[in-house]
Amino acid sequence: MNLDAQWITGFVDGEGCFHVGISKHKEMTMGHQVLPEFTVVQHERDIQILHALKAYFDCGVVRKNNGDRMSYRVRDKQHLRDIIVPFFIKHPLKTKKRQDFEIFRKVLLMMDVGDHLNEGGLRKIREAAAKMNRGKLR
């Protein structure tokens, strides 16, 4: 299945999620792991769409989510930085999800300069992440 860039943007405006997870992790410098990820979750009946997204972006994985749901997920920071972010700069989201994307992009830039490795930077990342995914339907 070949996907069109505008179709992908529309679909991600509906179903996509830009998320920055922050969790405790003893082995990390600041005792916390910052985990930016881009995901699209679908009912398993539409798994072929997730594989088509993976093929289009040529990165990420298709994995089981909860119950009968599957997800396409990109966590690799280089792939996020070099593939996912440039795509959504070129093909801007039209919903308010674009604000999440902008924060997501900013967090990746902050991580590039090592902000997640010092206390002040980690706090800034935490504040930015808290502003994401508000007013979601689910």
Chain residues binding a copy of itself by CB under 8 A are: 1, 3-15, 41-46, 49, 52, 68-69, 94-96, 135-138
At closest approach, how far in Å is the CB of 57 from a copy of itself?
15
Q: Which is nearer to a copy of itself, 16 or 36 (CB)?
A: 16
At closest approach, how far in Å is the CB of 33 from a copy of itself?
28
Q: Which is nearer to a copy of itself, 28 or 41 (CB)?
A: 41
Q: Which is nearer to a copy of itself, 41 or 83 (CB)?
A: 41
- Say if residues 33 and 4 touch (Cβ distance below 8 Å): no
Q: Shortest CA distance to 16 belongs to which of 72, 66, 67? A: 72
Report DSSP letters for 13-32, one per residue: HHHEEEEEEEEE-TTSTTSE
What is the three-class DSSP state of 39?
strand
